[in-house]
Amino acid sequence: MTAKSLFEKVWQDHVVVPETDDTPAVLYIDLHLIHEVTTPQAFNVLRERGIRVRRPDLTLATMDHSTPTVPVTSLKDLDVVAEGSAARQIRQMIENCREFGIELHGFDRDTRGIVHVIGPELGATQPGKTIVCGDSHSSTHGAFGALAFGIGSTEVGHVLATQCLLQRRPRTLAVNINGQLAAGVTAKDIILALIAKIGVDGGTGHVIEYRGSTVAALDMEQRMTICNMSIEAGARAGMMAPDETTVEYLRGRPMAPQGADWDAAVKRWLALPSDPGASFDREVSLDASALEPMITFGTNPGMAIPVTAAIPERYSGPSFRKAMEYMQVEAGKPMLGKPVDLVFIGSCTNSRITDLRQVASVLRGRKVADNVKMLIVPGSQAIKQQAESEGLDEVFRAAGADWRESGCSMCLGMNGDTVPAGQLCVSTSNRNFEGRQGIGARTVLASPLTAAAAAVSGSIADPRTLETRQ
Amino acid sequence: MEKLTRLESRITLLPANDVDTDQIVPARFLTTTTRAGLGKALFADWRYDAAGQPKPDFVLNQPEAADSKVLVAGNNFGCGSSREHAPWALADFGFRAVISTAIADIFRNNSIKNGLVPVVVDQATHEWLMANPWETVTIDLERCELVLPDGSATSFPLDGFSRYCLMEGIDQLGYLQQQSPAIDRYEEQRPWKP
Ligand code: SF4
């Protein structure tokens, strides 16, 4: 029997109709995550053609992108806090879910949250599944050994109608990460270093498998941070082998299998890792022990450097100059010490409980600098409750940070939480594109530790210089 | 979706590299619940000033762009967010093809479903295009070729199924629905249920 990779095993298990030279494969989808922004047009098509949703039971719906992060307890509140078209979109989502019989984790539910945070949290994300969402950060779920990728709204319609997608088989890229991380260096730094190394199109056409001792030693939340940003390297998806850490994370979660089903599932999951000798179309390696905390200096996630380094002068060309101008930074100079206006902790990359605990370890007993506004947005209502039960909210408030309801918030600034033009924001999110956080916003991506260090220092800072307090 | 076999058009040059879909359509325009009318939002932050007035030096605001159907972008186009609003906006503005040295996967998939041809060319062809603003080129889907004014042709990759869908104006949902007997069988026979 030929050695198969994790990707090949999951792919083959879901082929309904194999691909040919002339036609793509029909691939079955086990879990379809939906949210308010990329689904209205898909539901419209279903409605126009009189098609019902084939498997509402395999569809997990929430609202996150355009939702306010101030409390909304009734739809009446919504009009007060949300801008007109955002409120309409949210109402449309509620209506669509009702009409097509899909359970919605909406405002009235404490299971609501960012779609890529609640999938794993509810145990709906499982090894060996195919998972899609009209959202590019669907790659997050690959941390469990699922094949998960982002799709457009037309494809959302395809999945709603048929629970299948037409797909060409992607190529595979093995990323070997070995070595022990130094103190103050986290998963976010690994993925930023990788994207800086292979480029924002380094993974195009490929599914990445992250392998090696560093990955095996990470907890699930850190693994999700890495897989989340696979798309920022252009990859179709990112995957990691399921292991005991994966199994322990899922045990007892509401949508995870129970009883005898659980035992059978665990057996199936633990057989998924790539066989020894499985081949990949490409391979790259990263020495994790050499990594430092990373930050971005430009307008895409590949423009990243160690926090203590100077902006490299090796780049050139009009696009690079435009990025430098937009960011108001200079090649040859460090980012360290640059004054910061805003710090955003949140997004599907870094808004989970361990991220918040790290932020608290820096903020405890310290104050957010006078020149800085700090916004902390938990990834889900469940994380919010957990953080509050641990007293983290008090640490945040005492430091002078703003503690909010869950949602995408300032990651993409659709809900009114935006960075004012020209201001510099250190953000734990995943995209530093021009205008991503608001028109003219200047975004610096960093880990929760580095972002928190910037908040208390008032400028870009090395988290390793601050003692953390548990 | 309109059928497309051959497209002859003036090229519009957008030399920026790594253009992401947040630039193509900024997030604040995503609260729409329809596909129509997004042409106005296309490259909004590059195209309009703070007062909402068109910036005269931005390429889409130049009169030649008005009837151009082919956008030539810098290296690696369409990365980032999966928003299909990006091809919707390009198509609504009037583009039927995008040329670059690399095109991001999700954007590529979304484009084909909206009659927008993704054309990936080699560096040399790309450099020629970038040096010749508003020249007229032909995109021939029958042969998957980009034909330059001197008659020289470069082929570009496009799988048979995508090409067929673009040429016949086919909507893939109908094709997928025809697979339902196989989907029923798969659901019944698979060894484990999600
Ligand atoms: S948090 Fe940001 S990246 Fe994640 S799903 Fe929301 S908008 Fe997208």
- pLDDT, one tens digit per residue, over A349-392 is 999 999 999 999 999 999 999 999 999 999 999 999 999 999 99
- One-letter amino acid for residue A12 of the chain: Q
Q: How many CA atoms lie within 13 A of A321 on its CB side?
A: 4
Give B152→chain A minimum CA distance, Å. 28
Contact state of A152 with B110 under an 8 Å Cβ cutoff:
yes
**Who's near A36: CB < 8 A, 6+ residues apart?**
A63, A64, A65, A66, A67, A89, A90, A92, A93
Q: Are A412 and A35 in contact (CB under 8 A)?
A: no
What letter does residue B143 receive in the DSSP assignment? T
Separation CA A125–CA A145 (nearest Å): 9
Contact state of A433 with B22 under an 8 Å Cβ cutoff:
yes
Q: What is the pLDDT of residue A313?
A: 85
Which band of pLDDT confidence, cut at 50, 70 and 90, is reported for residue B171? confident
Which band of pLDDT confidence, cut at 50, 70 and 90, is reported for residue A79? confident
**Chain-wide mean pLDDT for chain B?**
95
Query: Could you tell me whether strands A294-296 and A304-306 are parallel, antiparallel, or unpaired per DSSP bridges?
Result: antiparallel
State pLDDT tens for residues B17-48.
999 999 999 999 999 999 989 999 999 999 99
Q: Are A345 and A361 in contact (CB under 8 A)?
A: no
State pLDDT tens for residues B136-145.
999 999 999 9
State pLDDT tens for residues A190-217.
999 999 999 999 999 999 999 999 999 9
Worst-scoring range by mean pLDDT, A76-80, A297-301, B102-106?
A76-80
Mutate which of A351, A377, A411, A427 to test ligand 1's pocket (most atoms within 8 Å of Cβ)?
Answer: A411
Q: What is the pLDDT of residue A144?
A: 98
Residue A278 has pLDDT above 70, yes or no: yes
- One-letter amino acid for residue A373 of the chain: K
State pLDDT tens for residues A410-469.
999 888 899 999 999 999 999 999 999 999 999 999 999 999 999 999 999 999 999 998
Q: Which residues of A57-88 are buried (b: 16+ CB within 10 A; e: fewer)?
A: ebbbbbbbbbbbbeebeeeeebeebbbebbbb
Q: How far is the CA of A20 from the centre of ligand 1 (A)?
A: 35
Greatest distance between any 2 Cα atoms in chain B: 61
Worst-scoring range by mean pLDDT, A116-130, A340-354, A406-420?
A406-420
Chain A residue closest in CA terms to B81: A136
State pLDDT tens for residues A165-174.
999 999 999 9
Give B4→chain A minimum CA distance, Å. 19
Q: Is the CB of A348 under 6 A from ligand 1?
A: yes
Residue A1 has pLDDT above 80, yes or no: no
Same fold, A6-167 and A297-465: yes
Q: What is the pLDDT of residue A108?
A: 87
Length of chain A in terms of residues written: 470
Q: Which CATH class is domain A171-242+265-290?
A: alpha beta
Residue A82 has pLDDT above 80, yes or no: no
Give B106→chain A minimum CA distance, Å. 6
- Residue ranges of domains in chain B, CATH in brackets: 6-189 (3.20.19.10)
Give A470→chain B minimum CA distance, Å. 36
Chain A residue closest in CA terms to B17: A319
Q: What is the pLDDT of residue B91?
A: 96
Q: Does B15 touch chain A (CB under 8 A)?
A: yes
Task: Taking residues A117-145, report their average pLDDT.
Answer: 98
State pLDDT tens for residues B66-101.
999 999 999 999 999 999 999 999 999 999 999 999
Residue A285 has pLDDT above 80, yes or no: yes
- pTM for the model: 0.96
Q: Does B12 touch chain A (CB under 8 A)?
A: no
The closest alpha carbon to A461, from A350, A351, A336, A348, belongs to A336
Chain B residue closest in CA terms to A134: B82
Separation CA A409–CA B64 (nearest Å): 39
Q: Dig out the tokens for A145 from the structure.
A: 């050994």
What letter does residue B48 receive in the DSSP assignment? B
**More confidently predicted of B166 and A76:** B166
What letter does residue A335 receive in the DSSP assignment? S
Topology classification of domain A297-465: Aconitase; domain 3 (3.30.499)
Residues 115-174 of B with CB under 8 A from A: 159-161, 164, 172-173
Three-state secondary structure call for residue A132: strand
CATH superfamily of A6-167: Aconitase, domain 3 (3.30.499.10)
**Chain-wide mean pLDDT for chain A?**
96
Separation CA B18–CA B112 (nearest Å): 20
Separation CA B123–CA B76 (nearest Å): 12
Instruction: Return the beta strands (E) in A294-410 as ranges.
Output: 294-296, 304-306, 342-345, 373-376, 402-403
Residue among B75, B76, B81 with most chain A CBs within 10 A, to mutate? B81
Q: What is the pLDDT of residue B66?
A: 93
Q: Are A433 and A445 in contact (CB under 8 A)?
A: no
Q: Are A441 and A420 in contact (CB under 8 A)?
A: yes
Whose C-alpha lies nearest to ligand 1, atom 6? A408
Contact state of B104 with A85 under an 8 Å Cβ cutoff:
no
Q: What is the pLDDT of residue A415?
A: 86
Mutate which of A348, A355, A418, A445 to test ligand 1's pocket (most atoms within 8 Å of Cβ)?
Answer: A348
Q: What is the pLDDT of residue A74?
A: 67
- One-letter amino acid for residue A140 of the chain: T
The closest alpha carbon to A308, from A340, A273, A271, A336, belongs to A336
Q: How far is the CA of A463 from the centre of ligand 1 (A)?
A: 25
Share of chain A above pLDDT 90, in %: 90
ipTM surpassing 0.90 = yes
Q: What is the pLDDT of residue B29?
A: 93
Q: Does B175 touch chain A (CB under 8 A)?
A: yes
Residue B51 has pLDDT above 70, yes or no: yes
Q: What is the pLDDT of residue A52?
A: 97
Q: Which residues sit opposite A463 in a β-bridge?
A: none
Q: Dig out the tokens for A128 from the structure.
A: 């060996």
What are the residue boundaries of the structural domains of chain A, listed by start? 6-167, 171-242+265-290, 297-465
State pLDDT tens for residues B94-128.
999 999 999 999 999 999 999 999 999 999 999 99
